[in-house]
A and B are shown apart, each in its own frame.
Chain A
Amino acid sequence: MERVPVLKIGDILLVSIQIDMEDQVALQLQEDLAERIVATGVHGVIIDISALDIVDSFVGRTLATIASVSRVLDAETVVVGMRPAVAITLVELGLSLPGIRTALNVELGIAMLGSREDDGEPEDDEPDPVVVTES
Chain B
Amino acid sequence: MPLSPDEARRFAALLEGQAEQLASRWTELVAAGLRGRLSSAELRRQTTDLRRAFQQAFAGGATDLGQDAAAELRAQLTELSSGRARQGFSATETAVSIYAFKDVTLEVLGDQSDAATLRDYVAFSSFVDQAALFTFDSYVRIRESIIADQAEQLLELSTPVVKLWEGVVAVPLVGTLDSARAQVVMERLLQTLVDTGSPYAIIDITGVPAVDTQVAQHILKTVVAARLMGADCIISGIRPQIAQTIVALGIEFGDIATKSSLADALRYVISQNKRSGR
Contact = CB atoms under 8 A, between A and B. Distances in A.
Interface stretch (B44-52, B153-161, B218-226): B218-226
A128 B277 contact: yes
B187 A115 contact: no
Kindly state the interface size class of chain B when it binds its partner: 20 to 34
Kindly name the residue among B194, B198, B227, B277 whose own CB sees the greatest number of chain A CB atoms within 10 A. Answer: B277
| Majority secondary structure of chain B interface residues (helix, strand, loop or mixed) | helix
Contacts of B274: 131, 134-135
Nearest to B187: A84
Nearest to B278: A111
Nearest to B276: A115
Contact of A131 (B193, B227, B231, B277): B277
A133 to B, nearest CB: 10
Given A84-B191, A131-B277, A104 B229 contact: yes
Contacts of B231: 104
B228 A82 contact: yes
A44 B191 CA distance: 27
B230 A115 contact: no
B61 interface: no
A128 B7 CA distance: 96
A108 to B, nearest CB: 6
B190 A80 contact: no
Interface stretch (A3-11, A18-26, A65-73, A95-103): A95-103
A130 B277 CA distance: 6
A102 B227 contact: yes
A30 interface: no
A51 interface: no
Nearest to A104: B230
Contact of B228 (A91, A130, A134): A91
B228 to A, nearest CB: 4
A77 to B, nearest CB: 12
A38 interface: no
Interface in B231-257: 231
Nearest to A103: B230
Given A84-B187, A88-B186, A130-B278, A97 B230 contact: no
Contacts of B190: 84, 87-88
Contacts of A109: 230
B225 A91 contact: yes
Interface string B165-193: 00000000000000000000011001101
Contacts of B193: 84, 104
Contact of A82 (B230, B276, B277): B230
A104 B277 contact: no
Interface in A92-135: 92, 96-97, 101-105, 107-109, 111-112, 114-115, 118, 128, 130-131, 134-135
B197 interface: yes
A108 B166 CA distance: 13
Contacts of A54: none
Contact of A108 (B186, B187, B197, B221): B197
Given A103-B199, A104-B194, A118 B224 contact: no
Contacts of A128: 277
A52 interface: no
14 contacts: A84-B187, A84-B190, A86-B228, A96-B228, A102-B227, A102-B228, A104-B193, A104-B194, A104-B197, A104-B230, A104-B231, A108-B199, A118-B277, A131-B274
Given A82-B230, A84-B194, A108-B199, 9 more contacts: A82-B228, A82-B229, A96-B228, A104-B194, A104-B197, A108-B230, A111-B276, A112-B276, A131-B274
Listed from nearest, the 7 A-B pairs whose CB atoms lie closest are A84-B190, A102-B230, A103-B230, A87-B225, A87-B228, A130-B277, A91-B225
